[in-house]
Amino acid sequence: MHLPSRQSYLLPVGIPLQNGGTLYYSNVPVSAIAEHNGKPLILGYGNPGDEATIYAGSSLCTEEIKSADQLFNWDGVYVLLTTEERAARSRVFETPSGPVSLVSDSYLTIDRGMDGKEINIDLQTRPGTNPFSLLAADKVASVSIDGKAVKTSVERRTGLMSFSLTTPSLKLPNVPIENVRVKGDGEAPVPDSWTVLQTAGDTLAPLESQGDYTGGYTVYSGNFATPKEGLLKLDYYDNDWHSVLVDGKSIPGLTGSSEEDISKDKLPAGKHTIEIIYENEGWPNGGFMEEHKGLKSISFAPDGQIETIDNWKHSPAASPYPTSAPPEASSAFNDARWAKTTVGHGNQPFIRENEGWWFRTNVDLSEAAIRQNATLNFKAVDDNALVYVNGNPAMDHKGYDTPFTIPLAQYGKPGDNVIAVYVQNLGGGGGIWMPVVLKWGTSSRLSADLRFHHSLGGRLADWQSATSDDSQWKSAKRWDVVQSSDGITWYRGGFTLPARPGWVIPWRLHVESTGSGQIWINGKLLGRFFSDGPQKDFYLPDGWLNIKGMNSIVFVLRPGGDGSKAPSIKDAYVAPYDEYVAQKHMMEITLK
C-alpha cells in the first residue's frame, strides 16, 4: 500500500462481521461494516487506481478502486469499493427490516428518521451530476426526491441500486462592501484607565508580569529626557510589530518588527513624549511559551555610536559552502553588478531552499570607533553564516535564530571596511532576516515615565461593534484611503447578501491590502491577516451572518513591514465559495 506523506490510516484487523465471519485484514481504510441481502457488507475506500486487498470470511481478494462504486460478493461477504470522498459521505440507516446503506457525493446527508415505511433524508448536493448507490435493494420499494419519483436501476448480480440527481449551477456575483468610512485610532477618546509600567531590575517589566497575557495591541504612553543630541534606541522582548511616535511625530527607524530599533534621525536634547503601539503577535509554532513580550528598554547614544546597517548588495553563490578565502569576500572584488537590497525585515524572498547566497556592504569606521571596541551585531541569519571582514574570515555561525557579534576592533580598520556574508539556506525562508547593528562606545539607559493599556483606543471605544455610531467618520469613496504611515486605520462598512431560498451558500471575504490587521464581522473578531499573505480569502461563519439584512464589517489596519508604506485596503469584497455551493433536497426511501 502507498501511504502519502504526513498521513496515517487506521486499518481493520480481526473485526467480527454480522452473521458470523471475520474481517481479518484490509490494506485500505474501511468506513462502515453493515449488512446487504442478509450477508456482511464492508465499505472500503481509497483513491482511483489504488489496489484494494481484503481478507474476509474465507477469501483473500484484490480489486482496483475506480471512480464509480463497485460491489463484489466474495464468498458470502459483500465488499463495496468507493472513493475516499464518497465514503466520507456514506450513511447507514437502521430500519426494522435491517440496515440500508447510502453512498453519494452529497455535500451533507442528515437522517430525519422514519415515517411509517419511509426513511426521510435531508440532502445538500453540489452542482453537477450526483450519483447515488443504495444497498439493501431487496428492502426498497421506491425512491423520491423533493416529492418526485426517481428512476433507479438494480444490478442483478449484486443487488446494487443506482440512481442520480442533477443539480443546476448557481452563479452569484461578488457582493460589494458599501458605505465605507474611515478613522484613525489616534482620534479615539483617551482611555481613563492606565497601568503604570513597572521596572524589572535595569529593564522595563514584560507585559505578562503585569497581568497582560492576551494577544493583540498594547499602547504605551509617557515621557523621557535626553541629555544631549543623539540617537534613540528601543529594545523589545520579542520581534513583534510596533509603531513609535516621539513628540507626536514618526521617527524613521523606530517602526517595524525588530527586537532592537535605532532612530535614523537625531533627537534633540530635552524633554520628549513617546507613544508606542505594540502588537503581541503571540507565540509561533516551536516558540517558547515563557517568552516575554513588550517594551524592554529605552536607551540613548550620541550620534554616530550606533547605526543600523540595512543597505546591502546580493548575488547567488556560484560554489558551495566556502572552505577557503573566496573572491566574493575580497575587498577588491567588483560587486557593481550585484542587486541592491535591505536586510533585517524578514527572509529574503529571492533565496530558495538549499541555496547559498552572498551579501556585501561597506562600513566606515573612525579611529574612535576602533578604540572604543566597535562591533557588528547580527540579530539572526537563516540558516548559517560565514562572515568576512576585508577578505578575512571573522565568524562561522550556525543557527537561524540566534544573535552573534563580530569584533570590528579586531578585524576592521579606520576608514572603509568591506563586510561579506555567505548565507547558507537549508530549507524554508532564508537570508539576513534580522537587523545588523554597528555599535561602538557606550549607550545609556533612559529613565522613562511610562504607562500602558491593553487594546487600541478604537477597540476601547467599541468601534468594532456592529452598532457603533460612525456617522462622524470620514466617508471613503475608494478603498485606498490612507492615514499616517505609522498609524492604525479603522475602516467600517457593510454588505447585504443575496437571498437564494433552497440553497446553502458558504461565503468568503477577499482582502488585498498594503497593511496587516484584524477583521470584525457583526461585532465578532473573524481573525488576523497579513498583507504579504498568502491567505487573502477568509471564511465567514454562517452563524455570524445576517442573511436577510445588513452585515457590518470592520478592518483594523496597521502598516506592514517597517512602516514605510502607508496602510490601505486595495480591494475587499464578499463572494461565494462556488465549488461548495449546494442545493437542499428531501429524499424519501420507501421500504417494501
Q: Range of 62's domain?
A: 13-167
Counting the structural domains of the chain, the total is 4
Distances (CA, A) of 567 to 244, 261, 474, 489: 15, 21, 16, 8
Distance CA 351, CA 321 (A): 15
Query: Which of residues 454, 484, 510 is at a domain's end?
Result: 454
The C-alpha cell of 565 is what? 508604506
For residue 370, pLDDT over 80 is answered with: yes
| 159 & 28 share domain | yes
Helix-, strand-, coil-residue percentages of the chain, each rounded to 5: 5, 50, 45
> Is 99 within a domain?
yes
Residue where one domain finishes, among candidates 454, 477, 511: 454
Same domain, 242 and 322: no
Decide the pairing of beta strands 13-16 and 22-26. antiparallel
Same domain membership, residue 433 and residue 325: yes
Residues 369-384, mean pLDDT to the nearest whole number: 93
Tell whether 590 is covered by a domain: no
Least confident of 3-17, 387-401, 439-453: 3-17
Give 523-569 pLDDT, tens digit per residue.
999 998 887 778 899 999 999 999 889 999 999 998 865 556 677 88
Both 25 and 131 in one domain: the answer is: yes
- Mean local confidence (pLDDT), 233-245: 91
The reported pTM is 0.78
At residue 485, the pLDDT reads 60
Q: How many CB atoms neighbour CB 200 within 10 A?
A: 12
Residue 353 lies in a domain: yes
Mean pLDDT for the stretch of residues 200-228: 89
Question: Are 25 and 163 in the same domain?
Answer: yes
pLDDT band at 363 (very low <50, low <70, confident <90, very high): very high
Q: Phi, psi at residue 370, to the nearest 5°?
A: -65, -45
Together in a domain, 386 and 504: no
Angstrom distance (rounded) from CA 29 to CA 16: 16
Residue 530: the pLDDT is 82
* In-domain check, residue 86: yes
Mean pLDDT of 564-575: 83
383 prior amide bond cis, ω within 30: yes
In a domain, 591, yes or no: no
CATH of the domain at 262: 2.60.120.260
First to last CA, the chain: 41
- Within a domain: 145: yes
Instruction: Identify whether residues 97 and 208 lie together within a single domain.
Output: no
One domain, residues 533 and 414: no
Domain boundary among 385, 412, 441: 441
Say yes or no: 201 and 279 in one domain: yes
Please check whether residue 228 lies inside any domain of the structure: yes
Residues 426 and 509 in one domain: no
Domain contains 592:
no
Same domain as 244, residue 124: no
- What mean pLDDT is predicted for residues 382-410? 94
User: Is residue 19 domain-shared with residue 144, that is, in the same domain?
Assistant: yes
Can you give the pLDDT at residue 252? 86
Q: Phi and psi of 579, rounded to 5°?
A: -75, -10
